[in-house]
Structure 1
Amino acid sequence: MARSHSVRKFTKNLAEETQEAFDERWGTSTEWHEIDLLASLRDIVTQVSTRVFLGPELCNNKEWLNNTQAYTDNVFKAVRSIRRFSAWFRPYVQWFLKDCSKIRQQVKRAEEIIEPVIAKRIEEIALAQKGLAEMPNDAITWMHEVATGKDKEYHGAHIQLSMSMASVHTTSDLFSNILLQLCRHPEWIEPLLQEEQSVRTDGAWEKTSLYRMKFADSIIKETQRIKPLGVPLSHRHVSDDVILPDGTLIPKGAIVATNMSRMWDPEFYPNPEEWQPDRYLKLREELGKEHSSQFVTTTMESLGFSIGSHACPGKFFASSKTKLLLNHVLENYEFERVDTGKNATPLFVEYITNPKAQLRVRRKTISP
């Protein structure tokens, strides 16, 4: 994921890419028209994320964007397919499974697309190190810096596909639920717009502008709290027997996960089933809770990004990206819900945004 100290340099580029992506997927018409919410947001988030991961060369490359999304979908399908077989048999049967074959084909094509871009970036890095050019600032450069001088193989296509898989479906799911909540509670849109206008410097976005968007931060965190991507999180395989202080034995070979139930515990969150967009804004006003109530902060009562050493390293990038997406929509579009389905469809231990949810949208008319 994008390193937090580098994200600030991308605010302007992210804002520009966000506008271009929405113009293409949601359109610029001032007439009402319907869009598939989750599908359109996946396209938009893929393009915006690719601007950071790969720079300007591939963020508008339709083949790369389509291949990236298809890879993500097929990985989850392949996991479900291969789990039908015993563990010892999986290395053999994977060669005969359709979904696994698709993944191999998509990785191969990704390598063909990205290798010229990586080669070009390495040349640019070499020139920058000699003081002959500006140092590129994207994930290709960061990964090259990490891999240089270390006895490790660096597979650029694999890493880029993995980063996209980790970021696209999570951000698009979260943001779609934010918009669905605002459709139900449109009274919160105006306060969000007022905050946006108050934090921007001469109409431009800065890293500090996003940090000062405390109300937007609260809405994003509250939406993640009430509907995380899954109920158990941080699955781990136990490599040796573990005996807890109370004597409980966790045997070798067991699969354990973090329980998310504290996020809906009334001891920590009064009326936990209710979406309260200013919940964390109020908590930030309490002594000692300014930091713990921010979207990017993980605690035992807020596990949307996991916790500890394995907490999501891209949470700062996710925060910046989601705030820019939110404010672009609120500033440029009117929107309302079309269907009456549920906000999220439970799927065993996952909560998946209703893929059939649609919005009716139109571009706002700018006053002369």
Structure 2
Amino acid sequence: MESSTNDHSYGLSYTTLIATLAVCLAFSKMLGAWMTMYELSKIPTIGPAGFLSSWFAGVKFVKNARALIQEGYDKFHGRPFKIRMPDQWIVVATGTDLLNDIRKAGDDELSFDEATDDLIQARYTVGPELLKSRYHLNVVRGSLTRSIQSTFAEVRDEIQEAFQDEVPLSKEWTSVPAYDTIMRIVCRTTNRLFVGLPLCREPDWIDLNIQFTIDVFKSAAIINLFPEILKPIIGNLLAPIRRSRARAMKHLKPIIEDRLERIQQGEEVMQNDVLTWLLDPSVNPGGEFRSVKDLTMRILNLNMAAIHTTSMAFTNTIFYLCVQPSSVVAELRKEIEDVIDEYGWSKLAMGQMRKLDSFMKETVRMVGFGATNIDRKTLKPFTFSDGTTLPTGTRIVVPQWAWHHDERHFTKPDTFEPFRFSDMRSNNANGSNFESFKHQMATPDEDYIFFGTGRHACPGRFFAVNELKTLCAHVLLNYDICLEEKHKRDPGSVNADPNVGNGLPEPVWFASSMTPNPAARVLFRRRKD
């Protein structure tokens, strides 16, 4: 009886301890947020700014981020404003002048790396080794971009094989879950250039790389809820790095060791892929980062950056293609066929597909990846050109969704105009090459910020756009496509909805992030005309 009472008392004490700890943690996080809010007190606020009320505003942000940021954009355009997220305050910079302030700022003032590292809690989710040197980004910016033409045939081959495996050509409609199917196709295609055959087709490798990004962002979201003092404990408990790295090394270790051995013996490594470029002594600092563990994490990290962004852009492009008038699809197909007839399947041909480029750019303008972009963290007090000063440690973002739906930047911004940007290029046919280049999907400017801005614009954007064009061209030349829900309502329709945007699958929003609807299904069949 006494033992039972003691056990019961122990249970109550343990429960009380956990509850007390949880309350203390929540209070410390709220106190930290309140102190930040006090430092930013001169910056206008969207939502309540009280000690307790701001916490509830952070909860509201999870479901209403886009609307809240739009409210601030409309109310304070041309000025920065602050808004409460569940784990912190952020400053939202609006207007071209503030964007240019961010673009011109030095890395010792506004840090892209620090902001990204905080967002994904990089030390725990991808490992501290990658923070010592980010030379793999130079490989993307340099070797990968320069090799788009020489590796084009391999990338296209993988697209053909991946589609044949995932969506075989058939006279009958084949229904597939669009986002999941496209992620597998994009993963294979990307890894044909990252690690080559046969690994790019290995099902476990594909699943690992798709899941790794999901695990990283889930873990980071939880870690960011805790105060700094507890992040090492929580990070080491939750982060997927150990199991993901071990799983990846089973695939990569023999490949890396074989290539290192050949290099040591003075043999030339013939594989023209990212893994080979990472081993190049001219880009790998002193050969310091040549361990299997280090190279494995860099490949996983590059996949995290490449697969999901390209998959989201391609999925949304497919959705928009499904609701176009047949005349638009016919016009795209004609351009692709004419260009291929003249230039063959090549990087040069992809560059000539102006209408397809416009269609893809208009899609990401309309949808994007979420409500914000261009994350930065202040490393010292930073003053905008309007006189607003931010203290050290402030996170800054730019409101991408509101920006791309603003009449200051685009006429009829809420209307999908498939050839908006190709028309701009045609209207400037006798103008400068710069003006024509400006309207390409891969080119960021003051109006279009999908790929970021300045020297920290996405280093892989040229490969990503080339890959997207090749994927889209393959689909348009080989398949008829239709949203399954639309086909159920009107079995005779395909690419023939006169109301552009009608019936588009609703994206899934979580805080400021957006993903294509994972439940949406698309029908594919062999092209009839």
TM-score between both structures, scaled by the size of structure 2: 0.65
Tell me whether 1:14 sits opposite 2:155 in the alignment. yes
CA contact (8 A) 1:183 1:336 kept: yes
Percent of residue pairs bearing the same amino acid type: 28
Count of matched residue pairs? 360
Partner in structure 1 of residue 463 of structure 2: 317
**Structure 2 CA distance, aligned partners of 1:14 and 1:153?**
26
Partner in structure 2 of residue 68 of structure 1: 209
Partner in structure 2 of residue 144 of structure 1: 279
The 3 A distance-change label for structure 1 pair 203 and 269 is: closer
**Structure 2 CA distance, aligned partners of 1:186 and 1:179?**
14
Q: Which amino acid aligns with 1:338?
A: E
Q: Which amino acid aligns with 2:512?
A: V
The counterpart of 1:161, out of the listed 293, 300, 303, is: 300
Summarize deviations over 1:144-179 as a string: whole Å, max 9, x none.
111152545661111111111111111111111111
Tell me whether 1:234 sits opposite 2:374 in the alignment. yes
Partner in structure 2 of residue 223 of structure 1: 363
The 3 A distance-change label for structure 1 pair 4 and 82 is: same
Which stretch of the first structure deviates more once superposed, 73-82 or 256-265?
A: 256-265
Partner in structure 2 of residue 298 of structure 1: 444
| CA displacement at 1:182 relative to structure 2 | 1.2
**Structure 2 CA distance, aligned partners of 1:267 and 1:95?**
46
The 3 A distance-change label for structure 1 pair 244 and 164 is: same
| CA displacement at 1:330 relative to structure 2 | 1.1
Partner in structure 1 of residue 224 of structure 2: 83
**Structure 2 CA distance, aligned partners of 1:29 and 1:180?**
20
| CA displacement at 1:326 relative to structure 2 | 0.4
| CA displacement at 1:341 relative to structure 2 | 6.0
Residues 2-81 of structure 1 mapped to structure 2, 5 A cutoff: 3-81=144-222
Tell me whether 1:329 sits opposite 2:475 in the alignment. yes
Residues 187-226 of structure 1 mapped to structure 2, 5 A cutoff: 187=326, 188-201=328-341, 204-226=344-366
Partner in structure 2 of residue 108 of structure 1: 246
| CA displacement at 1:231 relative to structure 2 | 2.0
Tell me whether 1:269 sits opposite 2:415 in the alignment. no
| CA displacement at 1:54 relative to structure 2 | 0.5
SS in 1 for 2:482: strand
SS in 1 for 2:189: helix
| CA displacement at 1:123 relative to structure 2 | 4.6
**Structure 2 CA distance, aligned partners of 1:360 and 1:235?**
37
SS in 2 for 1:291: helix
Q: Which amino acid aligns with 1:280?
A: F
Which stretch of the first structure deviates more once superposed, 356-365 or 168-177?
A: 356-365
Q: Which amino acid aligns with 1:107?
A: R
Question: 4+ runs of 1 displaced by more than 6 Å?
Answer: none
**Structure 2 CA distance, aligned partners of 1:179 and 1:125?**
43
Tell me whether 1:358 sits opposite 2:521 in the alignment. yes
TM-score between both structures, scaled by the size of structure 1: 0.92
Higher helix share: 2
Structure 2: stretches of 5+ with no match in the other structure: 1-139, 486-502
**Structure 1 CA distance, aligned partners of 2:313 and 2:506?**
11
The 3 A distance-change label for structure 1 pair 341 and 259 is: closer
RMSD: 2.1
CA contact (8 A) 1:74 1:103 kept: no
Q: Which has the higher contact order (CA 8 A, sep 6+)?
A: 1
**Structure 1 CA distance, aligned partners of 2:356 and 2:386?**
42
Summarize deviations over 1:261-310 as a string: whole Å, max 9, x none.
33222122110011111000011122342011001101121111101111
**Structure 2 CA distance, aligned partners of 1:201 and 1:189?**
18
**Structure 2 CA distance, aligned partners of 1:22 and 1:350?**
28
| CA displacement at 1:134 relative to structure 2 | 6.8
**Structure 2 CA distance, aligned partners of 1:135 and 1:148?**
21
Structure 1: stretches of 5+ with no match in the other structure: none
Q: Which amino acid aligns with 1:42?
A: M
Tell me whether 1:118 sits opposite 2:281 in the alignment. no
Q: Which amino acid aligns with 1:111?
A: M
CA contact (8 A) 1:298 1:307 kept: yes
